[in-house]
Amino acid sequence: MRLRAQRAGVHDALEDGEEMTGPAPQDGIGAARRWRPVPAVRISLLVHAAGVAALAAEPALWLWSLGALAANHLVLSAAVLWPRGRLLGPNLVRLPVQAAARNEVCLTFDDGPDPEVTPRVLDLLDAYQAKASFFCVGERAAANPHLVKEIARRGHSVENHSYRHSRAFSFYGLLRLRRDVEATQEVITCVTGRPPKFFRAPAGFRSVLLDPVLARYGLCYVSWTRRSYDTVSRDPGRILSRLTDGLGAGDILVLHDGALEKTHKSFVLAMLPQLLGELSRRGLRSVALPEAFRDG
């Protein structure tokens, strides 16, 4: 009931007749597709089927069956905790080669929008003529629709970062995953007029069951090349060096504009001009994810 009320509130918060804006959708991205299990998932299904068959044929083998299932779940758990891994499905960790050839990188901002931080981030990006992708939490987007609209109006892309950013996201069942992803798609589409094309799981911990849900909504899973750890680090210089040491064309960088403590908010806002200046000095241009997939 609360979720429906928040979605309805998005409509009420926007003025009648406002034009929906945002980056244009790209061919080949965003279209629903047929889900095909990746090899790790197929092997897992076979292990489970073999374990059940072995128990049915010879109950005395229960210990071996249990061991095989435990080993299988251990591997899957490791895959969940490996944000940049591809065992559980396709994972964009770098921009496509054509974007790298154009000396492009992508700044991504997670966990917003935040009424205090997001507007200042947008102003800094404008000052350096940089574009970015904002992975917004659906619940926060519903509470701040004008911020989401402003992100899109300035030419950035608004992407899906789950509805509540729950720490238990990677443990959700299939139906709950679908509802969570769908709710965020609906909120952002309502505000910007265009559905998100990319998805990033909370903290990068990807559910074993997530891939068929992403296929249903035509979402491309994204992690990163470089992670700032700006939500935990108390050293602005260290945050910057994590992003710039070895930085090159095609990199995807992760920062945060939401869910930050007051101290970390000041660090991010103080560090961002230095990062944008470094990109300029290296001849790199930050673009939103949809733009990185354009031809030419």
Alpha carbons 23 and 31: distance in angstroms, whole number: 16
Task: Give tens-digit pLDDT for 149-188.
Answer: 999 999 999 999 999 999 999 999 999 999 999 999 999 9
- C-alpha count within 13 angstroms, C-beta hemisphere, residue 212: 12
Out of 14-23, 29-38, 107-116, 240-249, least confident range: 14-23
Token digits for 82? 């490996």
Residue 53 has pLDDT above 80, yes or no: no
Report the run of H or E that residue 255 belongs to, with start and end: strand 252-256
Distance, first Cα to last Cα, the chain: 46
- C-alpha count within 13 angstroms, C-beta hemisphere, residue 161: 29
Name the percent of the chain lying above pLDDT 90.
66
Task: Give tens-digit pLDDT for 59-88.
Answer: 776 676 667 667 766 776 777 788 999 989
pLDDT category of residue 20 using cuts at 50, 70 and 90: very low
What is the mean predicted confidence (pLDDT) over 227-253? 94
What is the mean predicted confidence (pLDDT) over 24-44? 67
Task: Give tens-digit pLDDT for 197-236.
Answer: 999 999 999 999 999 999 999 999 999 999 999 999 888 8
Alpha carbons 175 and 136: distance in angstroms, whole number: 21
Alpha carbons 125 and 132: distance in angstroms, whole number: 8
**Residue 88 burial by CB count (10 A; 0-12/13-18/19+): exposed, middle or buried?**
buried
- pLDDT at residue 126 in the model: 98
Strands 226-227 and 252-256: parallel
- pLDDT at residue 264 in the model: 87
Sorted by where each begins, the domain ranges of the chain are: 2-14+21-32+89-292, 39-80
pLDDT category of residue 54 using cuts at 50, 70 and 90: low
Residue 3 has pLDDT above 80, yes or no: no
What is the topology classification, in CATH, of domain 2-14+21-32+89-292? TIM Barrel (3.20.20)
Alpha carbons 250 and 166: distance in angstroms, whole number: 30
Alpha carbons 119 and 113: distance in angstroms, whole number: 9
- pLDDT at residue 5 in the model: 44
255/5: higher pLDDT: 255
| Averaged pLDDT of the chain | 87
Contacts with 98 (C-beta within 8 Å, 6 or more apart), sequence order: 295, 296
